[in-house]
Amino acid sequence: MASNKRARSSIAQVADVKVEELQLKSITGGALILDAARQILRLNLTPTGSVPNRFGFQTYGGEPRPFMRGEAVGRRNDGMSITLQIAGDLVDQLEALDRRCCELYMASLPENDKKPQWKPLVKDYEGDKLVKVAVNLVGEDCASLAVQPREGGDATSGSGWAFLQPLLKPANYFRHADTKAVVKLTRVWNYNGYAGVKLLAQQLRMRPAEVDEAEEEDPFADAEDW
């Protein structure tokens, strides 16, 4: 019997994405960027090696989310974010992807509408290149998480706030943790005169840094539109 469920898109390396073949699908409150097969892009940001989680797990605006206070959220997705420090070809590849997303979205807007200002996916900060990734910890689209001990040994795997919460403080909130990430390009958002694309974590494998690393403030923690 044929299934009515859509096949889940495969995971691609960013280098393999043919940006000229990307398509846009308008949805309520924004748009989706799809590949040539009209599937949501799922990307392996770290096919080899890892990247630092620059500021660790953060909440937008620094305020606790309702699920952290034990409030029921039902099926609604919610979580935290991480900021990955990237370099080399990955910077160029993500910037090319971002430019194509911007072109597609701006072209989809009515000609006489005021165009929003596009927020780059990749940010510059003190000479480094950073990309923010949302991490759902409650709801129907939680990221798969794995934590590799610094000293070696088997990884601990799980998902959701109940899994992550007891690991945060001992790991210094995973600031500067070596991180491998698979993400998906969830949507183009348009809010308060700005627009951009959003990355959502699907799989994260993290190895905590030494806990005596200097704490660094996230300069973008209050940016609700990123």
Residues 39-85 pLDDT 10s: 999 999 999 999 999 999 998 767 778 778 777 666 678 889 999 99
Q: What angle do CA 217, 220, 225 make, to 5 degrees?
A: 155
Question: Among residues 117, 105, 121, which one has the least CA distance to residue 23?
Answer: 105
C-beta of residue 174 within 8 angstroms of C-beta of residue 206: yes
**Domains in the chain, CATH or no CATH each:** 11-66+78-207 (2.40.50)
Tokens of 199: 């990355």
Residue type, 180: K
Mean pLDDT of 158-175: 94
Residues 85-140 pLDDT 10s: 999 999 999 999 999 999 999 999 998 889 999 999 999 999 999 999 999 999 88
Residues 14-32 pLDDT 10s: 999 999 999 999 888 789 9
Burial class of residue 194, CB neighbours in 10 A (0-12, 13-18, 19+):
middle
Residue 3: per-residue pLDDT: 42
Residue 163: per-residue pLDDT: 95
Residue type, 186: T
Q: CA–CA distance from 57 to each of 15, 27, 32, 150 (Å)?
A: 27, 29, 26, 18
Look up the pTM and report it: 0.86
